[in-house]
Amino acid sequence: MSSINISPKKGLHGTIRVPGDKSISHRIAMLGALAKGETRVEGFLMAEDCLSTLKILDSLGIRIEKTGAESLVVHGKGMDGLHEPDNCLDAGNSGTTIRLISGILAAQPFFTVLTGDASLRKRPMGRIIKPLCHMGARIWARAGDSLPPIAIKGGRLKPISYQSPHASAQVKSAILLAGLWADGRCDVKEPDLSRDHTERMLRFFGLPCRSENLTASVEGVREFSGCSYKVPGDFSAAAFFIVAALISKGSDIVIKGLGINPTRAGLLEILQRMGGRIEILDERMESGEPVADLRCISSGLRGINITGEDVPRMIDEFPVFFLAATQAEGDTLIRGAYELRVKESDRIATMAAELRNIGADVEEMEDGMLIRGGMRLKGGLCSSHGDHRVAMTMAVAGLISEEGVVVEDWECVNTSFPDFLSILQSF
């Protein structure tokens, strides 16, 4: 078990770039594998979660050539080019990998078994298994077909119109990817809008995908061609530095080339509503995704109420948002965020425990948290609970604490952001 020690520091200054978007990196590798010919990718996130996706694609017969520190070429074999692996497929800690690749495997005429680490084997999979079985796949899993490992016997799929009980980009994407093989149109309607990276990327490849209100649709296709793709900077990775700048006195930083997809960047809007001084510079489109540079300046934040409809657009940023709320004036109430209990850790329970541990005043609720703002954080010994976003949040807390913070079990950060510490220490 490794640990890191973060000392208090005020006045963050500088210009940084964060690694490529994790969600988009997974998707471009998978769609590149299904395309005919080469897909050239710049800005790919070479972190453990995305490497799990690459290893699975390799096991399915796809050659992936790394051409630089953040670039690769996916040598796609087309929609019928995957072959049966000779062993179980390991998704590691990546929920995106296991859920999205299940959608692809549901259409393959062979047998596969997907598993992952101890954390992933506790995460709910019934939410993808049910619709994929309705499409015609045969799927088995532990605990009444709800937990990994997952065994899939794929085959010919039929289109469905599915009303998802969850606003989940992973569920939606699994169905849309499977729908590429269906004879007709698949529709997925959500209760709230989740991130739309899959839909944007399908359209960028020239595939028949539509989005209207809360429904995403895709038509089955026979083949499509590879492309060149530039992955924007990961907003979830940048969130730690955005919050660090806002809550650390005298700070003024710029983050370059950041994805600001509105279905993903809900935290940006929330922090601005709280009084955060965030300037959006040089807005542009790259590979079908909105991109910009952000200038983030030390700010006096105000408490806010977060409701269920806010949750999907900032689902991965809640740990660091909780920290920001401890420094706001007044109370912050978060409700409708039960989904946080089934992430890499129970992020309501783990963040409540760790924030209390360093001096915050928080009250845990079944579907959220009450955070009393304006708290001086003493610091101390913290655990990551094996959750990369909890670990990075507590590191940021160390910057504004009185005594500094020690974060134990730091290796989990490698699943999404291996360079986090070096960037944090560059200020």
Q: Among this protein's residues, is 361 annotated catalytic?
A: no
Asked if 365 and 346 touch (Cβ cutoff 8 Å), the reply is: no
Asked if 77 and 57 touch (Cβ cutoff 8 Å), the reply is: no
Asked if 392 and 243 touch (Cβ cutoff 8 Å), the reply is: no
Residue of 21, 49, 316, 387 with catalytic role: 316
State both tokens at 422.
């070096």
Sign of the alpha-carbon torsion through 196, 201, 203, 207 = negative
Burial of 228 (0-12, 13-18, 19+ CB in 10 A): exposed
Residue with the two structure tokens 């709320």: 325
Backbone angles phi, psi at 117, to 5 degrees: -75, 180
- Cα separation, 409 vs 177, whole angstroms: 35
Between vectors from CA 88 to CA 83 and to CA 91, what angle results, nearest 5°? 100
Q: How far is CA 171 from CA 101, 168, 282, 289, 425, in A?
A: 11, 5, 33, 21, 37
- Cα separation, 380 vs 374, whole angstroms: 19
- Establish whether the linkage from the previous residue to 232 is cis, with ω within 30° of 0: no
Asked if 291 and 265 touch (Cβ cutoff 8 Å), the reply is: no
- Cα separation, 330 vs 303, whole angstroms: 5
- Cα separation, 307 vs 17, whole angstroms: 31
Between vectors from CA 287 to CA 286 and to CA 289, what angle results, nearest 5°? 65
Dihedral of CA atoms 186, 187, 190, 196 in degrees, nearest 10, equals 70
Between vectors from CA 112 to CA 41 and to CA 152, what angle results, nearest 5°? 105
SS (H, E, C) 10-30: CCCEEEEECCECHHHHHHHHH
90: helix, strand or coil:
strand
Annotated catalytic sites, by residue?
Answer: 316
